[in-house]
Amino acid sequence: MPRCCPFRPVSSPLTPSASRSPSWRKRFPGRRSPPEAAPPWSVSASWGWVLVQLAKRHAPGLLVGVDPDPARRARALALGADLAFAPDEVPDEHLGTRFDVVLEATGVTPGLATAGRLVRPFGTLNVVGYHHTGDAKMDMDLWYKAVTVVNGFCPDRTRTIAAMAVALELIAQRRFSYAPLVTHWYTLDQVDEAFAAMAAAGPDFVKGVLVNP
């Protein structure tokens, strides 16, 4: 059954390896030996780059980014991903057999489908992307692979506020930074220019910030 909680401090697949080792049998049912590497995977976009930073701190294994845009793949590598591929260039050895944890951050159905193909049997698919319109087909392979689906968005405001508190604490402790994602600065009288740059979404644009000088 899909679960709804953006942060699960005890059982999250991003929990540091030191705390998850004793309970690996519960976390990876069906496996005969502990996972030597539990590599999360991210479909990179703005959220994907956020996840790369967070996953890099906790992932004991390979961290791979997937995005169709070369500039975004390069930024994922700069932020800590070990490898980065276009969706149609992911090596066969990574498809459906390698990744214990997959982080989807696209918010579009094709990205979600790609993420589902990469997660291994008994793995975890984290749906972080905001799928706000239309219908998405259920990939029955996720059912047959006994994949655990974790929803990154939650209707429970109590959990959402708790997750925001965790995020702010990470920023305060300098364990996470938005600084690498802020590529453009604008004054208030440049607001039209800022929105134009956001709409154009050039290869060098990630996030713009409006400041009051």
- For residue 100, what is the domain's CATH number? 3.40.50.720
In a shared domain, residues 136 and 196: no
DSSP, res 41: E
Q: Both 43 and 76 in a single domain?
A: yes
Residues 6+ apart with CB under 8 A from 198: 205, 208
Find the range with the poorest average confidence among 89-98, 137-146, 161-170, 193-202: 89-98
User: What pLDDT does 35 receive?
Assistant: 43
- Looking at the structure, do residues 89 and 126 belong to the same domain, yes or no? yes
Strand partners, 2: none
Whether residue 183 sits in one domain with residue 128: no
Over range 113-135, report the average pLDDT.
Answer: 85
Q: Do 83 and 135 lie in a common domain?
A: yes
* Residue 70 and residue 121 in one domain: yes
What is the value of pTM for the model shown?
Answer: 0.68
| 151 in the same domain as 46 | yes
Number of domains in the chain: 2
Q: Would you place residue 122 in the very low, low, confident or very high pLDDT band (cuts 50, 70, 90)?
A: very high
Q: Are residues 145 and 207 in the same domain?
A: no
Per-residue pLDDT at 60 exceeds 80:
no
Same domain, 92 and 182: no
Please tell me whether residues 148 and 192 are part of one structural domain. Answer: no
Residue type at position 190 = Q
Read off the pLDDT of residues 7-51 as tens digits, 9 standing for 90 and up.
333 333 333 333 333 343 444 444 444 444 444 443 334 677 788
Confidence of residue 146 (pLDDT cuts 50, 70, 90): very high
* Residue-range definition of the domain harbouring residue 25: 3-159+166-172
Same domain for 188 and 106: no
**How many CA atoms within 13 Å lie on the side-chain side of 10?**
2
Mean pLDDT of the chain: 75
Query: For a pLDDT cut of 70, what percent of the chain falls above it?
Result: 76
What are the tokens at 54?
């967070």
Question: Which tops the pLDDT comparison, 181 or 11?
Answer: 181
**3-class SS of residue 134:** coil
- Per-residue pLDDT reduced to its tens digit, 186-205: 998 899 999 999 888 888 88
pLDDT score at 196 = 92
pLDDT band at 57 (very low <50, low <70, confident <90, very high): confident
User: 40-43 and 64-66: which strand pairing?
Assistant: parallel
pLDDT in the model for residue 192 = 92
